[in-house]
Amino acid sequence: MKRLTAFLGLLVAVVSTNALAEYGINMTEGVTSISRDIYGLHMMVFWVSVAIAIVVFGAMFYSLFAHRKSKGAVAANFHESTKAELIWTIVPIVILIGMAVPASKVLIDLEDTSKAEMTIKVTGHQWKWQYDAKKICTKKCTSV
């Protein structure tokens, strides 16, 4: 009976995965070059996070099963281990710098308005937004 229940549960899980494919959970890719760069940053950080999670959970589950008390394992003493402390300090710093450099480049591009075709002043009020478009320039400039 347990095998049948496990099989039916697995079957329901496999069949229901198709229904999950319709939902857009991820950030949508934009149409401008800046929005595509932001999407690229988002995906880079996502995959770095996935890789970190796989490594951390893999090490955790390996440690749980390989060093459990029933196998007679003796715990190691990592108290004041300079090598371990340097590793778990330097590795996250390198990862953060690796994510900060491309993010800074995209942020600088995002803030650069020197080639703007239109200037819009947006003012936030309590219950509404106010938009003021100063000039719309196409082939000839017209005031709005």
Residues 11-44: pLDDT tens digits?
888 777 666 555 567 888 888 889 999 999 999 9
The whole-angstrom separation of Cα 7 and Cα 62 is: 27
Please give the model's pTM, rounded to 2 decimal places: 0.63
Q: What token pair was written down for 135?
A: 């000039």
In a domain, 125, yes or no: no
| Per-residue pLDDT at 119 | 80
Range of the domain at 53: 23-71+79-110
pLDDT tens per residue across span 100-110: 999 999 999 88
In a domain, 93, yes or no: yes
In a domain, 83, yes or no: yes
pLDDT exceeds cutoff 60 at 8? yes
Regarding predicted confidence, which is higher, 104 or 120? 104
| Residue 27: CATH number of its domain | 1.10.287.90
In a domain, 47, yes or no: yes
In a domain, 28, yes or no: yes
| Per-residue pLDDT at 138 | 57
In a domain, 15, yes or no: no
Whole-number Cα distances in Å, 60 to 78, 82, 121: 16, 21, 52
Burial of 97 (0-12, 13-18, 19+ CB in 10 A): exposed
The whole-angstrom separation of Cα 84 and Cα 128 is: 54
In a domain, 139, yes or no: no
Count of domains observed in the chain:
1
Q: What is the largest CA-CA distance in the chain?
A: 83
| Per-residue pLDDT at 13 | 80
In a domain, 115, yes or no: no
